[in-house]
Structure 1
């Protein structure tokens, strides 16, 4: 008989910062061991304030001390999705959870607008003008550097920051019709289906 494990898998909270240069390029980072780039940020430890953990992660990755202006997007990734967090990668909430088998927990990505910063403000790396895990990317090139759903989240966060709105997402796609301008989804660029209020 398989062992019984109490309660649901914990949800990992991740804080991310949306930083743009004056010419509109976005600051991205590639975490160690990962193939794709994403917004700078980190898993928020239990008991920590998400905005403080996010600002600290940006400072550790880029050397920048940023002020987070406002929350512009929340993206929910259900358990078992490809980008969800293995339990072993975030802080357990009880000793009994350490004995759980590796499984993908749900993730909530909180994206904060951190305003503009000059590209030259990022400290140089040892092998070039930027550390190899950090780069400036134009919004048009997001798909070349990011996994599709990460690029979708960043596009939606940009839209919310520009328009003064808030993007509530499910795996990168808006979950409310009024989050979407016109007939297209600003996140994944797919056609919006008004019957199902989802992207097709």
Structure 2
């Protein structure tokens, strides 16, 4: 049966952000600060967009390695957070948060160097933050997303969100 409202040969664009939740022995969360589109200087979970045809599990492992130097394998999905399309033309997307594990305190974190021809790196800082201190360090929707990921990890569930809020409460 054909669907008149969709064309499977020309689907709408969809961006998949793949983020890693990593904690240390003190239950602090690793967050990084991007230098782009970030006038407030907020921090976020390490990660980035999956490439065309790239599996989300591979994308989060690659992005975490590129952004932190950590070679971690995602252990399970914690959050699916829907982000609407932007007025500037950026596609709607889903941000997937994966549990990437606990690492010992003092594990070295290596931020990326600037790309060839660029003066500024993609990230300029990282820090370890307690869940109670996320507000003000992260954008409000990012803080909600991280807290939902922590709860999903504890309860063995997957949180379904829209910009950090319960998806089903918004229907």
TM-score range, shorter chain: 0.7 to 0.9
Does 2:81 align with 1:75?
yes
User: Higher helix proportion, which one?
Assistant: 1
State which of 4, 14, 17 in structure 1 corresponds to 2:17.
14
- What is the CA distance between 1:59 and its match in structure 2? 0.9
- What is the CA distance between 1:159 and its match in structure 2? 0.5
Equivalence for 1:162: 154
For 1:58 and 1:141, locate their aligned partners in 2 and report how far apart those are by CA, in whole Å: 22
- What is the CA distance between 1:9 and its match in structure 2? 5.2
Equivalence for 2:92: 106
Which runs of structure 1 show a deviation greater than 4 angstroms over 4 or more consecutive aligned residues?
Answer: none
Does 2:164 align with 1:172?
yes
Equivalence for 1:39: 45
State which of 116, 133, 145 in structure 2 corresponds to 1:141.
133
Contact 1:75 / 1:108 at 8 angstroms: preserved in 2?
yes
Unaligned runs of 5+ in 1: 1-6, 82-101, 126-130, 177-196
Equivalence for 1:116: 102
For 1:56 and 1:124, locate their aligned partners in 2 and report how far apart those are by CA, in whole Å: 14
Q: Aligned to 2:42, what secondary structure does the other structure show?
A: coil
- What is the CA distance between 1:105 and its match in structure 2? 1.5
Equivalence for 1:98: none
Kindly provide the CA deviation profile for residues 100-131 of structure 1, in whole angstroms up to 9, marking residues without a partner as x: xx413201000001110123112367xxxxx8
TM-score by length of 2: 0.79
Aligned pairs, how many? Answer: 148
TM-score by length of 1: 0.68
Compute the RMSD of aligned alpha carbons: 2.1
Equivalence for 1:55: 61
Kindly provide the CA deviation profile for residues 21-45 of structure 1, in whole angstroms up to 9, marking residues without a partner as x: 1211000011222221110001101
For 1:141 and 1:106, locate their aligned partners in 2 and report how far apart those are by CA, in whole Å: 29
Structure showing greater Rg: 1
